[in-house]
Amino acid sequence: MTEFTSEEISSLEKRYKANLINSVTGYKSANLIGSISENSISNLAVFNSILHIGSSPALIGFVLRPLTVERHTYANIKSSQFYTVNQIHSGIIEQAHQTSARYATEVSEFGKTGLNEEYVKHISAPFVKESKVQIACKYVNEYEIKENGCLLMIGQIEMLRVQEKLIQADGWVDHMAANTASILGLDGYAEGKLINRFAYARPDEPIKVL
């Protein structure tokens, strides 16, 4: 094993450290957050920190980097209260990654990447038409992580839109059939292959495959 102490980590070259620390935790979710400004300029940004918070009520979270520079996604969520979380699949990973470029406020990443906006009733934020799993959220709260100024944003799921064939009989979404991507570190995009689903685990009973 190669070992790094906290002192050794601190003194690593900046880019090496960012790659190492961003990749050690394993596979991360790959989603595009869609939002719209008060001036009706749409915005799209790749996020790898979408997090399940709870099912009843249905809440999800994501981590926003510190507000030391202009964060369009944050400003749009605060002004409109709505945002969408759109699945990245293997067919759109280049467009998804391109949304991380620093475009000016008045530029829409939809237009620049060729991904298409889709609007539905009662949800002001744009969905990504190409995504096979789409979530609309309403802003609920934010928590500042004081240790580094990041924000944990909490949203309630207002609407779910999932390709019909992807939903299995027990509600589980088949991300293999959707070619859903995951993110590794800052810049890697992967596809997945299911090994197994397991039944609810109980003490001293052997694991059962579903």
Ranges within 111-170 binding a copy of itself (CB under 8 A):
112, 133-135, 140-141, 143, 145-148, 150, 152, 154, 156-164, 167-168, 170
To the nearest whole angstrom, how small is the minimum distance from the Cβ of residue 25 to a copy of itself?
5
Asked if 115 and 130 count as a contact pair (C-beta separation under 8 A), the reply is yes
Nearest by Cα to 47 from 158, 153, 159? 153
Closer residue to a copy of itself in complex, CB, 57/69? 57
45-74 footprint of a copy of itself as x/- string (CB under 8 A): ---xxxxxxxxxxxxxx-x-----------
Closer residue to a copy of itself in complex, CB, 38/143? 143
Nearest by Cα to 32 from 46, 42, 49? 46
Residues within window 73-92 making contact with a copy of itself, judged by CB under 8 A: 85, 87-88, 90
Q: What is the spatial distance between Cα 187 and Cα 128, in angstroms, rounded to a whole number?
A: 21
Sole binder of a copy of itself in the list 98, 117, 119, 139 (CB under 8 A): 98
Q: Which residues contact 27 (CB under 8 A, 6 or more apart)?
A: 182, 183, 184, 190, 192
Closer residue to a copy of itself in complex, CB, 67/101? 101
To the nearest whole angstrom, how small is the minimum distance from the Cβ of residue 36 to a copy of itself?
20
Nearest by Cα to 85 from 121, 124, 122, 35? 35
Q: Which residues contact 45 (CB under 8 A, 6 or more apart)?
A: 32, 33, 72, 73, 99, 100, 109
To the nearest whole angstrom, how small is the minimum distance from the Cβ of residue 2 to a copy of itself?
5
Count of Cβ atoms closer than 10 Å to residue 208 Cβ: 12
User: Is there binding between residue 22 and a copy of itself (CB under 8 A)?
Assistant: yes
Closer residue to a copy of itself in complex, CB, 27/75? 27
